[in-house]
Chains A and B, each alone.
Chain A
């Protein structure tokens, strides 16, 4: 049972345009969400996060939106750059309660930004 889903295995955009990566979750106990970027031969690198008490968090070119009622979050990258080409993982955590020690990841979306 996959609790965090990234339904688009890949996404291709032109340099300078917006990239939108989507993520859905099923476990309503999740209250903290993160996006990680992963290059080949490297571990995942933290990008941006959002708590369930917010619906938007922004950091430079990266913005994460959270829609709790739809159990959906999205990552917007504006403008997209060729160096953004990587696999992006959505992850969720339950900070409250007893299982705040683990991240639950989606399968990832391969973003390709074309020059």
Chain B
């Protein structure tokens, strides 16, 4: 059984660019959530997808968007990058309503 994987591990972008982060859920999990962890902070909920539909959203602007695919892998897209978007982005998969399993994260740096 494979765990949650994320790619890439690290990424450097400049302000105004767009970025796509990828997540592969743990086998059998149909729900994926994305979190942003800024330096010195705890993870903050961005949104969750269940069976390819957005199931809930945190306090993030619309330039943060996501997709979940039929194989339950997922993408997080961020448009018009800002310096404050620099953070560790964590993906977590689960069965709906069950405990989340986190991936190792993608470290995004915006210059």
Contacts and interface: CB of A to CB of B under 8 A. Distances in A.
Nearest to A42: B104
* Number of chain B interface residues as a range: 20 to 34
B103 interface: yes
A87 to B, nearest CB: 9
B4 A43 contact: yes
A43 B104 contact: yes
Contact of B97 (A34, A41, A42, A100): A100
**Chain A's interface: helix, strand, loop or mixed, by majority?**
loop
B27 interface: no
A107 B41 contact: yes
Interface band, chain A: 20 to 34
Contact of B56 (A6, A44, A101, A105): A101
The 7 closest A-B pairs by CB, nearest first: A105-B42, A43-B102, A101-B56, A102-B45, A101-B48, A44-B102, A107-B42
B43 A44 contact: yes
B24 interface: no
Nearest to B102: A43
Given A100-B97, A101-B55, A102-B58, A45 B44 contact: no
A103 interface: yes
A103 B90 CA distance: 12
